[in-house]
Amino acid sequence: MIELFDSGSAGRLIAQDSSQNSVQDSAKEAASETADQTRELIGNITGTKILQALVIIVICYLTIKGVDALVIWLSEKVARHNRLRIKQFQPFVRTAVMTITVVLLMNLFLNLSRENVLAVTGTVAVALGFAFKDYASSIIAGIVGLFEAPYRVGDRVAIADEYGEVISYGLRGIRLQTPSDNIVTIPHGYIWTNAVSNANMGELEAQVVTEFYLAHEVNPEKVENILYRIAYTSKYTHLKLPIIVVMSEHSWGSLYKLRSYPLDARDEFAYKTDLTVRAKKEFARHNLPYPKRFDLLEESQ
């Protein structure tokens, strides 16, 4: 019994040693193959190929800048209602140019075959997954956004604490021009888990809400008539879209909201200023009093 046990144990030990040797040999072969592929890849990088790559990158950059300038120029020359439609070509063309550039560069250095494509794709996917998770997420969200269109070039959107017009749609993010003329870059990855408020969704018109604060003793019908009149007589107002006056009561007085649409969303603040200035003149002419105090606690709630 002891001899049988010893011989069985020896057999298992021999099998384990053989298995370990096989694994080590496989690892050495894989490492050797990887080293050979790396040397071959480095050996294929020549001064001529580097120069060609630089030329491709420069052409890509100039093409994107040229397309941006052409789209903006065309959008300002066509009829107003077609302006935003023209601008929608910009992100698609930029994405196509960048994709073609990446493929050309990969083919230049990697000699793209089916095996190389699979190997490079797997390597890049793993690298992006660990090292550039947020960047990869933003790129994927940008591609999805081209088709779901939560925002487009020319839209007026509110994202987090930022509000403004989308002036650029890049592969990683968008650029907003705020009312204070700042340029804010927001990554596309933000749309995965956060709300995006879009005021016009590809249309020229966006609703403008202008607020007016008056005392309790003011006649609501008189205020309503004044607000309707200044809205209908403003040079910015789109008369085919609804104009609404909404009133709410507060401890300090009455809040009136005039909801109306300008002909062009880009005139939002000029429109709101025009309505406010003309309304204040009418309120003064009719001796309509303003609230004497504001309940700050109520406002904060």
Query: One-letter amino acid identity for 163?
Result: Y
> Given pLDDT bands bounded at 50, 70 and 90, which one contains residue 2?
very low
State the pTM of this model. 0.58
**How are strands ordered across the β-sheet holding 183-187?**
183-187, 173-177, 162-169, 156-159, 196-198
Greater confidence, 17 or 264?
264
DSSP E strand boundaries for the chain: 156-159, 162-169, 173-177, 183-187, 196-198, 208-214, 244-250, 253-260
- In the chain, where the domains are located: 156-198, 208-300
Instruction: Please give the share of the chain, as a percent, with pLDDT higher than 90.
Output: 24
Q: Which residues contact 276 (CB under 8 A, 6 or more apart)?
A: 210, 212
Greater confidence, 2 or 214?
214
Would you give the end-to-end CA distance of the chain in angstroms?
A: 87
Q: What is the CATH number of domain 156-198?
A: 2.30.30
Greater confidence, 60 or 26?
60
What are the structure tokens assigned to 188, written together? 């596309």
SS3 of residue 76 by DSSP: helix
In the predicted structure, residue 127 carries a pLDDT above the cut 70: no
Q: What is the CATH number of domain 208-300?
A: 3.30.70.100
Greater confidence, 206 or 119?
206
- Mean residue pLDDT across the chain: 79
**Is-contact 167 153, C-beta < 8 A?**
yes
What's the confidence (pLDDT) of residue 168? 85
What's the confidence (pLDDT) of residue 28? 58
Cβ-based neighbour number of residue 45 at 10 Å: 12
What's the confidence (pLDDT) of residue 16? 54
Closest CA to 254 of 208, 301, 218, 297: 218
* Euclidean distance between CA atoms 44 and 11, whole angstroms: 49
What's the confidence (pLDDT) of residue 195? 86
pLDDT digits over 224-279, tens only? Answer: 999 999 999 999 999 999 999 999 998 889 999 999 999 888 889 999 999 999 99
* Euclidean distance between CA atoms 73 and 75, whole angstroms: 6
Closest CA to 81 of 195, 200, 182: 200
Cβ-based neighbour number of residue 82 at 10 Å: 13
